[in-house]
Amino acid sequence: MDYTYLMSKIAIGPNARLFPKNWRPIREEIAFAKKHGFKSIQISVKAENASEKWFDDSFEQVSQILKAADITAVMEIRLFLNKDGLTSAGNSPLDILKTNLPAIIALPVKYVHWHWAPDYDLHKESDEIMARLEQNLVPQLKEAVELAKTHDFIFAFEHNEAAMRLHASAKSCLKTLKQVAGLKFVWDLNHSSAMELNEFKELIPYMSVLHVSDTPLPEINHHLPLGLGNIDFDKYFQALKDANFAGPAILEIGGLPKSGGFGKDTDEALIGSLARLEHILNKLDY
């Protein structure tokens, strides 16, 4: 199915702050998003499953609130994998996707992706082991795409910064994308260096969602509010416009120790980053 009709341009949204240290009900996150003109919101799942208890609302209520706010839901499923492609609890990415299907279907979530990273032990393994893991994950990606077709959502995977080694280059991501018909890709602008922009341009036709935050290049992955790093967002979004990208742009701000730790994703930081990104898009007539 062609989902480009879902939005005519970039739909900027916050990452819902449903984390244990600053948790608040999703209804309040959606109300914040609506009040300030956001058009999408990301629900990021890790140890938590997207359950009614976690939301503090029924799926039906959350669905109604999203619809009334005219906000598109995105789900990120965060995973730390060992060399067998399993979490520390012994679950596969597909297991966890299936666990979250009730929420995906009920809300509905239109964009879902896996963001996997190597667990601590996997950092010690060889590049050959990492490449084998990427290849071994392909069958699950194929099944995930079929589930997405059945339940009417778009499925993708996200890349990592180079130090993580797992799907950490445009080349390795493109290899996987070409093996799985219908699979999409999530580009985190602060996971790649400015030198890699031309390589990632090749992936724009596969992209479904953007993750946007700033970083003090050449250092990457700091997840700063826009304007506190030095990413040339004009250049990045010009490339996206030239390739006719349309989809959510999620402001993934704060959290990492090297970006100052948790608490960077304040209301003020998100509102300020929204204004900066809207200014860039308007300047580019995007």
Residue 199, pLDDT above cutoff 50:
yes
SS3 labels along 205-250: HHEEEEEECECCCCCCCCCECCCCCCCCHHHHHHHHHHCCCCCEEE
Task: Say how many C-beta atoms besides its own lie within 10 A of residue 67's C-beta.
Answer: 11
pLDDT digits (tens, 9 = 90+) for 151-162: 999 999 999 998
pTM: 0.94
Distance CA 190, CA 252 (A): 10
The residue extents of the domains of the chain are: 4-283
Q: What is the DSSP letter of 102?
A: H
Q: Which long-range contacts (CB under 8 A, 24 or more apart) does 126-131 make?
A: 127/165, 129/83, 130/165, 130/166, 131/172
pLDDT at 261: 59
Q: Which CATH superfamily is domain 4-283 in?
A: Divalent-metal-dependent TIM barrel enzymes (3.20.20.150)
What pLDDT score was predicted for residue 127?
A: 87
* Average model confidence (pLDDT) across the chain: 92
pLDDT at 5 over 60: no
pLDDT score of 180 more than 70: yes
